Amino acid sequence: MKELLDNKVILVTGGTGSFGQHFIKTVLKIANPKKLIVFSRDEWKQSEMIARNTDKRLRFFLGDVRDLERLHRAFHGVDYVIHAAALKQVPTLEYNPFEAVKTNIVGAENIINAAIDQGVTKVVALSTDKAVNPANLYGATKLCAEKLFVNGNAYSGESGARFSVVRYGNVVGSRGSVIPFFLKERKTGVLPITDERMTRFWITLDQGVQLVLDALKNMRGGEIFIPKIPSMKITDLAKAVDPNCKIKYIGVRPGEKIHETLLTEEEASRTIDIGGCYAVEPYQYYDSGSNGQGVKGKRVPEGFRYVSDTNEEWVTIAQLQTIIKTLE
């Protein structure tokens, strides 16, 4: 990994977010990039990062992925782009749909065009389990973004940029996730839960960063990388936060699923088990060097599905309590 990153110019869109900051911290620790560029639209968060970080390898670039001209400027001389910028609050986006489209879809198109035009070597885009059989606008925009990035390889040609995607579940303790919300609500003695059957995939920030780094290393262009991660019952999380709290069932919110899916039966025919994760291969590779061969591994069984309620690995209440202690 050090060899992959050393002396490279790496840009992270949404670099002031939970994932972006953790990715940047990790890369600066394990490698010696030539430059690591934080691209985001939040000047206040950038100023906070600047105050905390004196590393001379860091650069800060104000901009919005909606602005193609700004992306062209930012991508000049960049080797790798990690695209983490997105609007992702499900209830908010249900009532502000055009804003979601502008950032999550048009922004994805802009990333692709700017990367091709500026000679970026590799782009890894972050996606979500909500992009699979989407039930809300956020998921639909991320599904569309996935399609754009996978097929962006057709536009860049044999010598151009390569695009791949990582798709994973809820990030433990990230901004807007349920644990910080429950920690706040437990003061009232009541924890609101939408449905007692609800399950979710869980991934830590460390795991998310490692998945992106592995994708950057293994990608040929067009793959969707999916980690093998545990599931969690929302009722177990409530018990872990405070077993003495009452639980109030409030009903499923608009666009919310009972269970989440990371890999569908339709994708299984193109899916390789490569050990720590699955890789959904594109219908066609566009680099001649692949000779039709992508990542190495074993094909998953026909009809395979990866769904949060039928997952073989689960987070226990005790494990959840350990996680919660680190976030209090």
Task: Name the residues annotated as catalytic.
Answer: 130
Distances (CA, A) of 106 to 13, 94, 177: 14, 17, 25
- The whole-angstrom separation of Cα 103 and Cα 138 is 11
Give the rounded distance of the alpha carbon of 89 from its chain centre.
14
- In angstroms, the Cα distances linking 51 to 47, 55, 58, 184, 237 are 6, 11, 12, 28, 35
**Tokens 């919005």 correspond to what residue?**
64
Name the E strands within the chain.
Answer: 9-13, 35-40, 58-62, 80-83, 122-128, 162-168, 170-171, 190-193, 199-203, 224-227, 231-233, 246-249, 261-263, 271-273, 277-280, 298-299, 306-307
Assess contact for 48 and 22: CB atoms under 8 A.
no
Going from the C-alpha of 144 to that of each of 86, 130, 190, the distances in angstroms are: 13, 12, 38
**Residue whose entry in the numeric block shows the structure tokens 């749909």:** 97
- C-alpha distances out from residue 318 to 170, 201, 238, 267, 325, Å: 19, 17, 12, 34, 11
Strand partners, 11: 37, 81
Distances (CA, A) of 197 to 201, 252, 316: 14, 11, 16
Residue 260 phi/psi, 5-degree rounding, is: -110, 150
- Other Cβ atoms within 10 Å of 195 Cβ, number: 17
